[in-house]
Amino acid sequence: MALLELTEAGLHCAPGSFHVDPWEKVELALVTHAHADRVAPGCARYVCTGATAPFLRRLVGEDAPVRAVEYRETIRLGSASVSLHPSGHVLGSAQVRIEAEGEVSVFAGDWKRDPDPTCEPFELLRCETFVTEATFALPIYRWPEPEEVAREILAWRDACATASRAALLLVDEETKAARVLALLAPLADRPAIVTRELEAVADLSRRAGVSLLETRVLDESERGSLAGELVLAPLARSRELRRRVGERETGLASGRARIRGPRRRGALDRGFVLSDHADWRALVRTIDETGARRVLATHGNAAPLARFLRERGIEAEALATPYRGEALA
């Protein structure tokens, strides 16, 4: 019997009577990380890591019934033993390890193995069934070193300053801004400007002990030139902020920047390949290292990944879920 089965509300663990990252409200939701596509408001109870809890409460309300547990702490849910382990995706993000009926399944959520100063590194877990994202599960997606990308961002900011323009850097998730600021902290010589919502996320990261580049909040009551400044903003506010900051170049920090199409569609001047998801090499290597005999792939390029794995003799299936990974829409 599989420990995780797809239902209308999301992946359900029958022995433990809980869902993992459900997309509809359920009785008990284990949340791997507090991105909107992983959190269903209105659940009766939530379980997540301590570092995820403040971010989760921003989405579901300060009074929501959230139980915070430590990494690697085993809790008993029904007849299942459950523990949360670092996934390396964002601050507090977790893989869910489930042991029941003589089987071990791991729901990895979103994850990566690249270095990230904002979160604990990915922890490899051996299992029979591995449920993985497939956001960038194509051989074209291979990430450069993050420090190299940070230096490219600073060089771009300086080139914009020479041309009397602002450098408006868009991020596909609010938590991506914290990673950019952490990578820039030992390199940059002056603060970055951030929108109010990104400052709120940066503040939560600082409270968790993450060292970030100094920031100041964009004064959105003013319009005018921010020439020479690095301005971080959510992708969703791109159109509005392009008008507000005056003369500027616009860049995007995302794994999607690896290919030209998204940059062209977004009318972007620059793309910086910085992803909080596993690239192709990490996906293949990690699946092998888990020892899993069954792999379930969610969102992104799930079907190509499942086909590739089946050709290698691994039982693999693509699951239809509403998770979005890194998206430009």
Query: Within this chain, do residues 263 and 280 fall inside the same structural domain, yes or no?
Result: no
For residues 323-327, average pLDDT: 85
**What does the pLDDT read at residue 223?**
64
Domain count, the chain: 2
pLDDT digits (tens, 9 = 90+) for 73-130: 999 999 999 999 999 999 999 999 999 999 999 999 999 999 999 999 999 999 999 9
Query: Within this chain, do residues 254 and 296 fall inside the same structural domain, yes or no?
Result: no
Adjacent-strand bridge partners of 298: 133, 319
Domain assignment of residue 324, yes or no = no
Confidence of residue 242 (pLDDT cuts 50, 70, 90): confident
Given a cut of 70, whether residue 265 has pLDDT beyond it is no
Q: Tell me which residue range forms the domain holding 29.
A: 5-140+276-319
Domain assignment of residue 244, yes or no = yes
- Cα-based distances in Å from 230 to 38, 40, 148, 257: 30, 34, 17, 18
**CA 284 to the chain's CA centroid:** 19
**What does the pLDDT read at residue 243?**
78
**What does the pLDDT read at residue 260?**
79
- Write the DSSP symbol of residue 23: S
CATH code, domain carrying 113: 3.60.15.10
- Cα-based distances in Å from 158 to 52, 138, 166, 167, 193: 35, 33, 9, 9, 15
Q: Which of 277, 167, 144, 310 is nearest to 226 (CA)?
A: 167
Percent of the chain with pLDDT over 90: 89
pLDDT digits (tens, 9 = 90+) for 163-213: 999 999 999 999 999 999 999 999 999 999 999 999 999 999 999 999 999
For residues 19-48, average pLDDT: 97
